[in-house]
Amino acid sequence: MTRQRVLILFRPLLTLSIVFALLVLRSTAQSDQPSAANLAARRWFQDGKFGMFIHWGVYSTLQDGEWVMQNRKISIADYEKLPSQFNPEKFNAAEWVALAKSAGMKYITITSKHHDGFVMFDSQVSDWTIVKRTPWKKDPLKLLADECRKQGIHLSFYYSQLDWHNPDYYPRGRTGESAGRSDGGDWDKYLDYQDAQLRELLTNYGEISGIWFDGWWDKPKASWRLDRTYKLIHGLQPQTLIGNNHHQVPNPGEDIQMFEKDLPGRNTAGFNEGEKIGDLPLETAETINTAWGYNFTDDHYKSTRELVQYLVRAAGANANFLLNIGPRPDGTIQPEFVERLHQMGEWLAEYGDSIYGTRGGPIAPHPWGVTTQKGNKIYVHVLEWLDPVLLLPAPANQVTAAYALKDHAKVEFSKSGDRLLLQLPAHSSADFDTVIVLETAPR
């Protein structure tokens, strides 16, 4: 065969493979494949398990939660009187970060802007900021970012997409109807404003672990340009974990899935109706009393026992626990929060091996408790101690040893068919969790 004839024969094939190669290149360039840094951040996030949520803003001055503007139908004109009274002279970033660390928390997620639109950092694209409007004039996010870096805690920012103050948040959504905003505004300009602020947050505060969006549900039909905003974030900091509290299955570009006031798969608070659990790292956020932002009459505190058990149940459901505090307007944190956080830290100092670095265990969560796992260990967390024996589905790998995490005392076990029977160690009613370690052989 002449060279020419070979070429003629193979030309269609050659063209086809070039077209194919170009298509592959194009699809990888356009796909939402997370970067290696982002995947590593997801592992760090899941290993960390426990974070501090902080709701703090100009609403804190009214001591009635972060929805006070909406709930009391306060107009923008009146609400704008608040910043002059916001002078948190007792704010101490080192103390806040140390408190999170003492609780055993690995990251902080703080409100950079809540639904009232008040900007809690030094933004150049707004004059409705803590720096420009308050006598205090400081940027608490900068102070916190510096302190987090010093103390080895990761920092994430909550950002409300909903905005009751910005006139360009128009057409208005399901809330904010009493703010007294004019009937007109430029939605694209609002989205530009939001992107500009995110650029500031991801440029001026060092490494940022996450952006925690909220408020999408105020305008579920709007065009939010999520794609563009998420690309902006990952372009500036590829490892930043994006989550959006929209109570929907995650969108492309999102890195974690969040649940509000419920464990994944549950819907006692009414926010998570039909929310399917996807494959991304999970996180559930909850309050110590009822409110997110400081509320001086809210005395419905959960006990340390309830909070520890919530952390354990979250870990058993393969989810992180983001536990909220609402600091006071003067910058201090109320003793009821501090006490509980310290006690959680004490518990974690003893039992942290069964939480940090684990994933949800092989046995599905039950009312009696949950399982977590790490390496060749399965941790059985008995939260409701009903009987001296516990019958479990036997793990796939053979159990070679069982002992109590508390004192390493041996736990008797026997296998019968596909069941494993554990003789639970004696427990004290003061124990929040009876943790039994099962060591398993490699298959």
Q: Which residue is nearest to ligand H79 (CB)?
A: 174
73 is a site residue for ligand H79 (CB under 6 A): no
Residues 76-135 binding ligand H79 (CB under 6 A) are none
Residues 238-277: x where in contact with ligand H79 by CB under 6 A, - otherwise, as a string: -------x--------------x----------x------
Residue 425: DSSP 8-state: P
For residues 54 and 411, which CB has a smaller minimum distance to ligand H79 in the complex? 54
Count CA atoms closer than 13 A to 222's CA, side-chain side: 22
CA separation, residue 20 to residues 10, 12, 27, 152, 344 (Å): 15, 12, 11, 47, 56
Residues 30-49 binding ligand H79 (CB under 6 A) are none
- Give 396: exposed, middle or buried? Use CB within 10 Å, 0-12, 13-18, 19+: exposed
Residues 6+ apart with CB under 8 A from 216: 161, 162, 224, 244, 245, 246
Can you tell me the distance from the alpha carbon of 100 to that of 148, in angstroms, rounded to the nearest whole number?
A: 10
Q: Which of 56, 57, 66, 360 binds ligand H79 (CB under 6 A)?
A: 66
Which neighbouring-strand residues pair with 108?
Answer: 52, 155
For residues 322 and 394, which CB has a smaller minimum distance to ligand H79 in the complex? 322
For residues 174 and 276, which CB has a smaller minimum distance to ligand H79 in the complex? 174
150 is a site residue for ligand H79 (CB under 6 A): no
Q: Which of 86, 216, 230, 292 binds ligand H79 (CB under 6 A)?
A: 292
Shortest Cβ 293–ligand H79 spacing (Å): 7
Residues 359-398 binding ligand H79 (CB under 6 A) are none
For residues 201 and 378, which CB has a smaller minimum distance to ligand H79 in the complex? 201
Output the DSSP codes for 90-137: T--HHHHHHHHHHTT--EEEEEEE-TT--B-S--TT-SSBHHHHSSS-
Q: How far apart are the first and last CA of the chain?
A: 57
Which neighbouring-strand residues pair with 350?
Answer: none
175 is a site residue for ligand H79 (CB under 6 A): yes
Token readout for 296 is 């001086």
Q: Which of 191, 285, 344, 363 binds ligand H79 (CB under 6 A)?
A: 285
Shortest Cβ 206–ligand H79 spacing (Å): 24
Q: Is 287 helix (H, G, I), strand (E, B) or coil?
A: strand
Can you tell me the distance from the alpha carbon of 328 to that of 319, in angstroms, rounded to the nearest whole number?
A: 29
Can you tell me the distance from the alpha carbon of 410 to that of 88, in angstroms, rounded to the nearest whole number?
A: 53
283 is a site residue for ligand H79 (CB under 6 A): no
Q: Which of 64, 163, 214, 254 binds ligand H79 (CB under 6 A)?
A: 214
217 is a site residue for ligand H79 (CB under 6 A): yes
Shortest Cβ 383–ligand H79 spacing (Å): 25
Q: Which of 174, 228, 276, 415 binds ligand H79 (CB under 6 A)?
A: 174
- Give 346: exposed, middle or buried? Use CB within 10 Å, 0-12, 13-18, 19+: middle
Number of residues that bind ligand H79 (CB under 6 A): 11
Token readout for 237 is 């900091």
Shortest Cβ 269–ligand H79 spacing (Å): 9
Distance of CA 384 to the CA centre of its chain: 27
For residues 82 and 285, which CB has a smaller minimum distance to ligand H79 in the complex? 285
Q: Contact residues for ligand H79 (CB under 6 A)? A: 66-67, 174-175, 214, 217, 245, 260, 271, 285, 292
